Amino acid sequence: MKLVNYYKTFLNNFKQKIIPLVYQNDLKKLGLFYETKWGEEQGDHMYVQHYEKHFYSIRRKNLKILEIGIGGYDNPNEGGNSLKLWKTYFPNSRIYGVDVVDKKALEEDRIQIFQGSQNDEYFLKKVIEEIGELDIIIDDGSHVNEHVITSFKTLFSSLKDGGIYIVEDTHTSYWPSLFGERWSTFGNKNVYLENLAKVGGSLDLNDPKTSMNFFKRLIDGLNHEEFLFPGYIPSYFDKHIVSMHFYHNLIIMYKGNNIEGSNILENNTLRPYILEELGVKSLDDLGLDFASVSDQYIRYRL
């Protein structure tokens, strides 16, 4: 019996070390091996093809990658599969994880873990102070809309130019906090459903408090130099988000310098030659009602 157990242990250890090396170029197979939810079964997240598209060309670079959410819920010894996946797929990179539960037991070579809330700006800033600028940030944390927005506002500036910020599971934007205060009266509760009761989404597709509407507003910022609104002051996101890719339940954003300029506007007002072509001396002569949209443009500065 001891010999049988020895061989079982040996084969399991061999499998854990060899199979990732064999599949290290195939993100889909790595996802299956590490049992991340990227498969083809009902309920799985079909993110793998998008990650391969955006990651494959940079996978051998020396990167710093931070993932929010480690998995395993309240068990300090469970979770961490996606951290191991990224460690394997990015063989020259250092992987960092953040979770509200102490997951330090899951640390290993090239994987470092911090305990704290993704909704705590002070904690997130302390993490960045310790590890420095990042190349990739993946938010697979609580999926609570407020938390997603707080994390993005706090962490996006810590990306290097060319860096990538990712938000997973954006479907929670469309789910109101199920049951509300009545949750405590329900029986047969489990952690997953309890989390759904707190996500803070909305049935209103235009609710400004949801993460999807927050990110949808940033799309206009890609074209901030085309805003015909004299005196507009571009936000940090206006100036540094250079592309946004929206997929089913997934957003992938790139950081850079969004300063291409406009051939019609300068400083958010019409260029002199355009005014001349229109036969007017100033923008005021066009009778445009900027006051009616001033609140809207101020909102984009936030």
Position 165 scores a pLDDT of 98
Find out whether 70 and 96 touch, Cβ atoms under 8 Å.
no
pLDDT digits (tens, 9 = 90+) for 146-201: 999 999 999 999 999 999 999 999 999 998 876 555 555 555 556 666 666 789 99
CA distances to 85, 94, 137, 207 from 158, in Å: 23, 16, 9, 28
Say whether pLDDT at 11 is over 50: no
| Active-site position among 45, 50, 54, 143 | 143
Residue at 206: amino acid letter: N
Lowest mean pLDDT among 19-28, 87-96, 192-201, 238-247: 192-201
d(CA 238, CA 255): 10
Residues in Cβ contact with 107 at an 8 Å cutoff, skipping those fewer than 6 apart: 113
* DSSP states of 188-210: S--HHHHHHTT----S-TT-TTS
Instruction: Give the pLDDT band (50/70/90) at residue 23.
Output: confident
SS3 content of the chain, % helix, strand, coil (to 5): 45, 15, 40
CATH superfamily of 46-301: Vaccinia Virus protein VP39 (3.40.50.150)
How many residues are there in the chain?
302
CA distances to 29, 70, 172 from 99, in Å: 26, 6, 19
User: Residues 131-147: what's their mean pLDDT?
Assistant: 97
Instruction: Give the pLDDT band (50/70/90) at residue 34.
Output: confident
Instruction: Give the pLDDT band (50/70/90) at residue 301.
Output: low
pTM of the model: 0.89
Instruction: Give the pLDDT band (50/70/90) at residue 31.
Output: confident
d(CA 85, CA 87): 5
Position 42 scores a pLDDT of 43
Lowest mean pLDDT among 16-20, 47-51, 142-146, 206-210: 16-20
d(CA 246, CA 12): 39
User: Residues 69-89: what's their mean pLDDT?
Assistant: 95
CA distances to 101, 169, 231, 236 from 74, in Å: 6, 20, 50, 36
| 45 catalytic residue (yes or no) | no
Say whether pLDDT at 241 is over 90: yes
Bridge partner residues of 164 (DSSP): 136, 254
